[in-house]
Amino acid sequence: MIVRVPKSLHGTAPDIGESGESYVLRDFERSRIAAIREAIAENPALATLFYVAAVALWTGLLSAGAGLHGDPRLAVNLTPHVAHYTIILGFFLYPLRLIWIPFLVYLATFLYPFYQPFSAAIAWHDLPGMTPGLVGMLFLIHLVGGLLTGLLYRMVYATGRGRMRPHSLDLFISFSGYFIFAAMCLLHWAAMVRLAATLPVEHRALYGFSDDYTVLAIKRILRGSVVVSVFLLAAVESPRAGQLLRTVGLALIFPLMVPLQAAGIGLYAQIDVIIVALVVVLTNPVGVGVHACIFGVAAYAALTGEFLNDTAALSPAEGMLSAYSLIGLTLVTFTMVLKGQGDHLIKEKDGAILKLDRARDFAGVGLFAVNHDTGRFRLDEAAQRMLGLPSDGPISVLEATFMPADGSALSAALHAARGEARALELHMASAAGAANVLRCYLWTERTPSGETAAYGILLDMTEAKDREAQLRDALDQLSRREEKQRQLFSIISHELRTPASVISLLTDELGEGTDGARLHRKFREATDQLLSVLDDMRQAVNPEKNLPVKLVPYIPADLAESVRAANEVPARAKGIAVGLDLGAGAAQARIGDVVRVRQALNNLVRNAVIHSGGRSIVIRWRAAEPMAEFMPTSEWQIIDDGVGIPDADVARLFEPFERGGADPRKTPDGSGLGLYIARASVQMLGGTLDHFRPDGGGAGYVIRLPEAHATEGQIQTAAATAAVWTKGTAADRAWSVLLAEDNVLVAEITRARLEKVNAVVHHAADGRAALQMALAIQPDVIITDLFMPEMDGDDLIRALRAAGLDRPVIGVTAAVVGEEMDRFRRAGANVVMRKPLDFERLRGYLRDGFPAAAPTDG
Could you report the per-residue pLDDT of 207-231, keeping only the tens digit for each?
888 888 888 888 888 888 888 888 8
| Residue 246: band (very low, low, confident or very high) from pLDDT cuts 50, 70, 90 | very high
Query: Residue 607 above 80 pLDDT?
Result: yes
At a CB cut-off of 8 Å and minimum separation 6, what does 602 contact? Answer: 563, 566, 567
Q: Give the rounded percent of residues in the chain with a pLDDT score beyond 70.
A: 81
Tallying the residues shown for the chain, one arrives at: 858
Mean pLDDT for 315-331 is 82
pLDDT digits (tens, 9 = 90+) for 425-463: 888 765 555 678 888 888 888 888 778 888 888 888 877
Q: What is the CA radius of gyration of the chain?
A: 53
Query: Helix, strand, or coil here: 461?
Result: coil
Distances (CA, A) of 675 to 179, 207, 729: 98, 121, 41
| Residue 730: band (very low, low, confident or very high) from pLDDT cuts 50, 70, 90 | very low
pLDDT score recorded for residue 70: 63
Spatial distance between the Cα atoms of 389 and 381, rounded to a whole number of angstroms:
10
Q: How far is CA 367 from the centre of its chain?
A: 26
At a CB cut-off of 8 Å and minimum separation 6, what does 196 contact? Answer: 75, 204, 207, 209, 213
| Residue 275: band (very low, low, confident or very high) from pLDDT cuts 50, 70, 90 | very high
* Nearest by Cα to 494 from 667, 679, 662: 667
Query: Residue 659 above 70 pLDDT?
Result: no
Specify the range with the lowest mean pLDDT, choosing from 219-228, 573-582, 831-840: 831-840
Query: Helix, strand, or coil here: 811?
Result: strand
Strand partners for 446: 452
Answer for the pair 579, 618: CB distance below 8 angstroms, yes or no. Answer: yes
The CA-CA-CA angle for residues 571, 576, 578, to 5°, reads 75
pLDDT digits (tens, 9 = 90+) for 57-76: 877 776 776 666 666 778 88
Spatial distance between the Cα atoms of 212 and 208, rounded to a whole number of angstroms:
9
pLDDT score recorded for residue 523: 62
At a CB cut-off of 8 Å and minimum separation 6, what does 304 contact? Answer: 65, 69, 258, 261, 269
pLDDT score recorded for residue 7: 44
Spatial distance between the Cα atoms of 526 and 529, rounded to a whole number of angstroms:
5
* Nearest by Cα to 657 from 646, 670, 638: 670
Q: Which amino acid is at 823?
A: R
Q: For the chain, what is the mean pLDDT?
A: 80
* Nearest by Cα to 217 from 245, 240, 248, 195: 195
pLDDT score recorded for residue 497: 54
Q: Per mean pLDDT, which of 16-20, 413-417, 655-659 is the most reliable?
A: 413-417
pLDDT score recorded for residue 183: 92
Q: Is 707 or 532 the better-scoring residue by pLDDT?
A: 707
pTM: predicted TM-score of the whole model, two decimal places = 0.51
DSSP 125: G
Answer for the pair 764, 738: CB distance below 8 angstroms, yes or no. Answer: yes
pLDDT digits (tens, 9 = 90+) for 131-190: 899 989 999 998 999 899 989 999 999 998 888 888 888 889 888 989 999 999 999 999
| Residue 284: band (very low, low, confident or very high) from pLDDT cuts 50, 70, 90 | very high
Mean pLDDT for 240-262 is 91
pLDDT score recorded for residue 231: 85
Distances (CA, A) of 835 to 527, 683, 780, 793: 11, 28, 21, 14
* Nearest by Cα to 370 from 399, 346, 328: 399
| Residue 668: band (very low, low, confident or very high) from pLDDT cuts 50, 70, 90 | very low
Mean pLDDT for 376-385 is 87
Helix, strand, coil distribution of the chain in percent, nearest 5? 55, 15, 30
Query: Residue 661 above 50 pLDDT?
Result: no
* Nearest by Cα to 55 from 108, 14, 125: 108
Paired sense of beta strands 700-706 and 688-692, if any: antiparallel
pLDDT digits (tens, 9 = 90+) for 466-525: 788 888 888 888 887 777 666 656 555 555 555 565 566 556 666 655 556 656 655 665
